[in-house]
Copies of this chain bind each other. A is one copy, B any other.
Amino acid sequence: MNTPAGRRGTGGGVRVQRADARANRARILDVAEEVFGKGGESASTEEVARLAGVGIATVFRHFPTKTALLEAVLARRFDRQREQAEALLNAADPGQAFLGFFRYLVADAPAKIGIAEALLDAGGDGGGEAAQASTELRQAFGALLQRAQQAGVIRDDVELPEVYALLVGVSRAAAREHPGEQMRARLLTIVFDGLAPRL
Protein backbone atom coordinates (compact mmCIF):
# COMPACT_ATOMS: atom_id res chain seq x y z
CA MET A 1 0.00 0.00 0.00
CA ASN A 2 3.01 2.26 -0.45
CA THR A 3 1.29 4.28 -3.17
CA PRO A 4 0.74 8.03 -2.90
CA ALA A 5 -2.99 7.37 -2.50
CA GLY A 6 -2.29 4.83 0.25
CA ARG A 7 -0.06 7.26 2.12
CA ARG A 8 -2.69 9.95 1.78
CA GLY A 9 -5.24 7.46 3.04
CA THR A 10 -3.14 6.51 6.03
CA GLY A 11 -2.33 10.12 6.76
CA GLY A 12 -6.01 10.95 6.53
CA GLY A 13 -6.80 8.13 8.93
CA VAL A 14 -4.29 9.44 11.47
CA ARG A 15 -5.75 12.91 11.11
CA VAL A 16 -9.25 11.53 11.66
CA GLN A 17 -8.03 9.62 14.71
CA ARG A 18 -6.41 12.75 16.07
CA ALA A 19 -9.53 14.78 15.38
CA ASP A 20 -11.58 12.07 17.13
CA ALA A 21 -9.22 12.15 20.10
CA ARG A 22 -9.46 15.93 20.30
CA ALA A 23 -13.24 15.77 20.09
CA ASN A 24 -13.32 13.09 22.81
CA ARG A 25 -11.04 15.16 25.01
CA ALA A 26 -13.19 18.26 24.59
CA ARG A 27 -16.39 16.29 25.25
CA ILE A 28 -14.91 14.73 28.39
CA LEU A 29 -13.92 18.18 29.63
CA ASP A 30 -17.37 19.59 28.85
CA VAL A 31 -19.13 16.79 30.69
CA ALA A 32 -16.70 16.85 33.63
CA GLU A 33 -17.23 20.60 33.99
CA GLU A 34 -20.98 20.05 34.08
CA VAL A 35 -20.90 17.06 36.43
CA PHE A 36 -18.36 18.36 38.94
CA GLY A 37 -19.72 21.91 38.72
CA LYS A 38 -22.99 20.64 40.13
CA GLY A 39 -21.11 19.08 43.03
CA GLY A 40 -22.84 16.46 45.10
CA GLU A 41 -21.88 12.96 46.06
CA SER A 42 -22.64 11.33 42.73
CA ALA A 43 -19.92 13.20 40.83
CA SER A 44 -17.37 10.64 39.62
CA THR A 45 -15.07 9.94 36.71
CA GLU A 46 -17.27 6.95 35.85
CA GLU A 47 -20.28 9.21 35.47
CA VAL A 48 -18.24 11.54 33.26
CA ALA A 49 -17.29 8.64 30.97
CA ARG A 50 -20.89 7.43 30.77
CA LEU A 51 -22.35 10.86 29.98
CA ALA A 52 -19.58 11.60 27.46
CA GLY A 53 -20.34 8.31 25.70
CA VAL A 54 -16.79 6.99 26.01
CA GLY A 55 -15.21 4.17 27.95
CA ILE A 56 -13.51 4.84 31.27
CA ALA A 57 -10.24 3.79 29.59
CA THR A 58 -10.59 6.66 27.13
CA VAL A 59 -11.02 9.12 29.99
CA PHE A 60 -7.89 7.77 31.69
CA ARG A 61 -5.93 7.84 28.40
CA HIS A 62 -6.53 11.60 28.22
CA PHE A 63 -6.41 12.24 31.97
CA PRO A 64 -4.39 9.63 33.87
CA THR A 65 -5.80 10.72 37.22
CA LYS A 66 -8.93 12.40 38.50
CA THR A 67 -6.70 15.23 39.67
CA ALA A 68 -5.41 15.72 36.11
CA LEU A 69 -8.97 15.81 34.77
CA LEU A 70 -10.14 18.35 37.34
CA GLU A 71 -7.02 20.49 36.88
CA ALA A 72 -7.73 20.62 33.15
CA VAL A 73 -11.42 21.44 33.70
CA LEU A 74 -10.65 24.24 36.11
CA ALA A 75 -7.77 25.66 34.05
CA ARG A 76 -9.96 25.73 30.95
CA ARG A 77 -12.69 27.56 32.85
CA PHE A 78 -10.21 30.16 34.14
CA ASP A 79 -8.75 30.52 30.63
CA ARG A 80 -12.17 31.11 29.12
CA GLN A 81 -12.97 33.75 31.71
CA ARG A 82 -9.60 35.43 31.18
CA GLU A 83 -10.34 35.60 27.46
CA GLN A 84 -13.70 37.21 28.22
CA ALA A 85 -12.00 39.75 30.47
CA GLU A 86 -9.44 40.53 27.77
CA ALA A 87 -12.18 41.01 25.20
CA LEU A 88 -13.92 43.43 27.57
CA LEU A 89 -10.80 45.59 27.69
CA ASN A 90 -12.00 47.06 24.39
CA ALA A 91 -15.55 47.71 25.60
CA ALA A 92 -16.90 51.20 25.07
CA ASP A 93 -18.04 51.55 28.70
CA PRO A 94 -15.19 50.58 31.07
CA GLY A 95 -17.42 50.86 34.14
CA GLN A 96 -20.08 48.52 32.79
CA ALA A 97 -17.37 46.17 31.52
CA PHE A 98 -15.78 45.90 34.97
CA LEU A 99 -19.00 45.68 36.99
CA GLY A 100 -20.59 43.27 34.54
CA PHE A 101 -17.56 41.00 34.70
CA PHE A 102 -17.54 41.17 38.52
CA ARG A 103 -21.23 40.22 38.55
CA TYR A 104 -20.61 37.39 36.09
CA LEU A 105 -17.77 35.92 38.17
CA VAL A 106 -19.94 35.94 41.31
CA ALA A 107 -22.79 34.21 39.46
CA ASP A 108 -20.33 31.64 38.11
CA ALA A 109 -18.71 31.02 41.49
CA PRO A 110 -20.83 28.12 42.82
CA ALA A 111 -19.90 25.84 39.92
CA LYS A 112 -16.25 26.91 39.95
CA ILE A 113 -15.96 26.40 43.70
CA GLY A 114 -17.61 22.99 43.30
CA ILE A 115 -14.93 21.95 40.80
CA ALA A 116 -12.13 23.43 42.93
CA GLU A 117 -13.36 21.52 46.00
CA ALA A 118 -13.58 18.28 44.02
CA LEU A 119 -9.97 18.91 42.94
CA LEU A 120 -8.88 19.43 46.56
CA ASP A 121 -10.77 16.29 47.63
CA ALA A 122 -9.02 14.35 44.85
CA GLY A 123 -5.66 15.40 46.26
CA GLY A 124 -4.89 18.46 44.12
CA ASP A 125 -2.33 20.64 45.85
CA GLY A 126 -3.42 23.95 44.33
CA GLY A 127 -0.11 24.35 42.50
CA GLY A 128 -1.02 23.03 39.06
CA GLU A 129 -2.08 24.57 35.76
CA ALA A 130 -5.36 25.76 37.27
CA ALA A 131 -3.48 27.90 39.78
CA GLN A 132 -1.47 29.46 36.95
CA ALA A 133 -4.64 30.09 34.93
CA SER A 134 -6.25 31.62 38.02
CA THR A 135 -3.34 34.03 38.40
CA GLU A 136 -3.75 35.10 34.77
CA LEU A 137 -7.48 35.65 35.27
CA ARG A 138 -6.70 37.83 38.27
CA GLN A 139 -4.33 39.91 36.13
CA ALA A 140 -6.97 40.38 33.45
CA PHE A 141 -9.50 41.35 36.13
CA GLY A 142 -6.93 43.85 37.41
CA ALA A 143 -6.60 45.38 33.94
CA LEU A 144 -10.39 45.83 33.79
CA LEU A 145 -10.32 47.44 37.23
CA GLN A 146 -7.54 49.81 36.25
CA ARG A 147 -9.36 50.85 33.07
CA ALA A 148 -12.55 51.53 35.06
CA GLN A 149 -10.56 53.57 37.57
CA GLN A 150 -8.92 55.59 34.78
CA ALA A 151 -12.38 56.27 33.38
CA GLY A 152 -13.38 57.62 36.79
CA VAL A 153 -16.19 55.11 37.40
CA ILE A 154 -14.43 53.17 40.15
CA ARG A 155 -12.83 54.96 43.09
CA ASP A 156 -9.08 55.41 42.65
CA ASP A 157 -8.06 54.82 46.28
CA VAL A 158 -8.48 51.03 46.10
CA GLU A 159 -6.10 48.45 44.72
CA LEU A 160 -6.42 45.02 43.14
CA PRO A 161 -5.59 42.96 46.27
CA GLU A 162 -8.57 44.19 48.30
CA VAL A 163 -10.94 44.32 45.33
CA TYR A 164 -10.04 40.75 44.39
CA ALA A 165 -10.34 39.65 48.02
CA LEU A 166 -13.80 41.21 48.03
CA LEU A 167 -14.69 39.39 44.80
CA VAL A 168 -13.53 36.09 46.27
CA GLY A 169 -15.32 36.75 49.55
CA VAL A 170 -18.61 37.66 47.87
CA SER A 171 -18.24 34.69 45.52
CA ARG A 172 -17.76 32.30 48.41
CA ALA A 173 -20.65 33.85 50.31
CA ALA A 174 -22.85 33.49 47.23
CA ALA A 175 -21.77 29.87 46.79
CA ARG A 176 -22.17 28.96 50.46
CA GLU A 177 -25.38 30.74 51.36
CA HIS A 178 -27.22 29.87 48.14
CA PRO A 179 -28.80 33.30 48.07
CA GLY A 180 -31.72 33.94 45.81
CA GLU A 181 -31.39 36.36 42.94
CA GLN A 182 -32.65 39.26 45.04
CA MET A 183 -30.25 38.75 47.89
CA ARG A 184 -27.31 38.38 45.51
CA ALA A 185 -28.38 41.59 43.78
CA ARG A 186 -28.51 43.46 47.10
CA LEU A 187 -25.11 42.03 48.07
CA LEU A 188 -23.63 43.34 44.82
CA THR A 189 -25.36 46.69 45.27
CA ILE A 190 -23.54 47.19 48.56
CA VAL A 191 -20.20 46.23 47.02
CA PHE A 192 -20.65 48.30 43.84
CA ASP A 193 -21.79 51.36 45.79
CA GLY A 194 -18.71 50.90 47.96
CA LEU A 195 -16.52 50.80 44.84
CA ALA A 196 -18.08 53.94 43.33
CA PRO A 197 -16.01 57.13 43.35
CA ARG A 198 -16.45 59.25 46.47
CA LEU A 199 -18.43 62.40 45.87
Query: A residues within 8 Å of B by Cβ?
Result: 157-159, 161-163, 165-166, 168-174, 176-177, 179, 183-184, 186-187, 189-196, 198-199
Contact B166 A176 (CB under 8 A): no
- Residues on the B chain within 8 Å of A173, using CB: 165-166, 168-169, 172
For A162, what are the chain B residues with a Cβ–Cβ distance below 8 Å? Answer: 179, 183-184, 186-187, 190
Interface of A is mostly: helix
For A186, what are the chain B residues with a Cβ–Cβ distance below 8 Å?
Answer: 157-159, 162
12 extra A-B contacts, CB within 8 A, seeds A165-B183, A166-B170, A166-B190: A161-B179, A162-B184, A165-B179, A165-B187, A166-B169, A168-B176, A172-B172, A172-B173, A190-B191, A191-B194, A193-B196, A193-B198
Q: Which chain B residue has the least Cβ–Cβ distance from A191?
A: B194
Return chain B residues, CB-CB under 8 Å to A171.
169
CA distance A186 to B168 in the complex (A): 15
The interface residues of chain B lying within 8 Å CB-to-CB of A166 are: 169-170, 173, 187, 190-191
**Chain multiplicity (copies):** 2
Q: Once the chains are docked, how many angstroms separate the CA of A198 from the CA of B186?
A: 14
A selection of 11 A-B contacts at a CB cut-off of 8 Å is A161-B179, A162-B186, A163-B190, A165-B177, A166-B170, A168-B169, A168-B176, A168-B177, A169-B170, A190-B194, A190-B195
Interface centre among A169, A177, A184 (most CB of B within 10 A): A169
Give Cα A170 to B163, complex, Å. Answer: 11
Interchain residue pairs A-B with the least CB separation, the first 3: A194-B194, A169-B169, A169-B173
Give the CA-CA distance A198 to B192 in the complex, in Å.
12
From residue A162, how far is it (CB to closest CB) to chain B in Å? 4
